[in-house]
Structure formats: C-alpha cells, structure tokens
Amino acid sequence: MSLHKNRCLLYNQVVMPYSDALIWQRTLLEERIKNPSLEDVLILLEHPPVYTLGQGGKSEFLKFDQTNSMYEVHRVERGGEVTYHCPGQLVGYPILNLQRYRKDLHWYLRQLEEVLIRTLKIYGLQGERNPGFTGVWLEGCKVAAIGIKVSRWITMHGFALNVCPDMSGFERIVPCGIADKPVGSLTQWIPDISLLEVRSGVAKCFAEVFDVELVIQTPVD
C-alpha cells in the first residue's frame, strides 16, 4: 500500500513539437474538468526550438518580426511573458487537481520553484527565489522559468529548466520580459551535466514536494 496520498502518472517523453504537447495538455485538462477523479499527470520532455508568449505577453519583447519570421512562435493561455524552448532544456507540465493539494496559486508556484531548488541541491548548487519574480535563479542568472494556467483548479503548462541548451535562442527575445537580468544554464556550473540524470532528479524532487507516488507510463507516440 502506498504511503503517499495521491498517485501521479509520469510520462518521460523525448523531443516533442510544442503544438503536439499543447494539444495533449489541453486534452488532459478537459478530461479532468469533466472527471476530477482522474489521476494527476507529470509530463517531462524537450521541445524543438520554439518561442512562446503568455496570454498577456508583449510582442515588443520579441527582437524579430513575428509576422515574417523563420522562428516558430505560439501565443498560449499561460501567464508570463515570452520564453524560449529548445533541446537541452527540460520542460515539465504538471496536470494536477489542486483540490487534492491546496487551492492556492501562489502556493503552487512556490512548490514548483521548490522542486527545482531541490533538484539543483542534488548537484551542490544553491538555487534561489528572486522576490517579485517567478522562477529559479543561480548566482544572479535565471536558470528556470515558470508559467501556468489553472482551470477549475486543474493546472497546465509548468516549468522549463535550462540544463544544457543552445543559449543563443535567448538572444532574440527579452526573456520573461526581464531586460536587466541574465539567463543561464546548468552547464555554466557543471559542464558535463546530463539531461537524462536531471530528469530523474526532477521527478524525484517533484514526488517529494507534492507527496505523490509517481507511476511511470509508456511514452506516447
């Protein structure tokens, strides 16, 4: 018998196009709005290069013409400004029914930060919160961005942790709308860090912070 209060289905995907992951998340969300007893889900994956803007995100934070662009850009229903995803960045999408945890969005954001801070601690790195901003910072560099959407207390979207990505994509935006603070990746501190290893660390810390039993699922095609 599990000692944890809830089970959470874990999907460890490889690289998945952003639009496919978005459809998947929306489907999982709608299913759980219709049937709140369905189990929670955590998706861990990477995306091909893509820019995303939050619902109220300002186009001025893109340093290129969105109407005539070679770059894939999506405006989506999460909070927050513009961010960049690419291989080497670990993206996590928790689809959680917060009625099982706490119906408090600030609490939920702090819990996501805590998952990433604990993950960094595995490597002897001191992740920090920055008052007034959402995300996780390491020696003044933002290494993880967080943006969520919640409907009927069920979450979608989530977090992005820069493990070993090509950081040049961030030069074409003002990341998260913050012009005066640099973004960083874990390779700056641990050059040979493995994304596969970080995946398992994030999953372990997620299970601890949310007190769930992770149940590994077969990746979807």
Which domain CATH number covers 190? 3.30.930.10
Q: What's the pTM?
A: 0.96
Question: What percent of the chain is predicted at pLDDT more than 70?
Answer: 99
In a domain, 112, yes or no: yes
pLDDT above 90 for 175: no
Q: What is the pLDDT of residue 2?
A: 55
Mean pLDDT of 47-69: 91
In the set 86, 164, 176, 205, the catalytic residue is: 176
Per-residue pLDDT of 1-10, as tens digits, reads 456 789 999 9
In a domain, 10, yes or no: yes
pLDDT above 70 for 57: yes
In a domain, 1, yes or no: no
Question: How many domains, in total, are found in the chain?
Answer: 1
176 pLDDT tier (thresholds 50, 70, 90): confident
Measured at the CA of 116, the angle between CA 23 and CA 12, to 5 degrees, comes to: 40
For the chain, strand residue ranges (E) read 6-15, 40-46, 50-53, 73-75, 82-85, 89-95, 136-138, 141-151, 154-162, 212-216
- Beta bridge pairs of residue 45: 91
Per-residue pLDDT of 81-103, as tens digits, reads 999 999 999 999 999 999 999 99
Mean pLDDT of 175-196: 93
Is residue 8 annotated as part of the catalytic site, yes or no?
no
The crossing angle, in degrees rounded to 10, of helices 105-122 and 195-210 is 130
In a domain, 153, yes or no: yes
pLDDT above 90 for 181: no
Q: What is the pLDDT of residue 67?
A: 83
Per-residue pLDDT of 90-149, as tens digits, reads 999 999 999 999 999 999 999 999 999 999 999 999 999 998 899 999 999 999 999 999
In a domain, 221, yes or no: no
Q: What is the pLDDT of residue 177?
A: 86
pLDDT above 70 for 36: yes
Range of the domain at 190: 6-216
Give the chain's mean pLDDT: 95
In a domain, 132, yes or no: yes
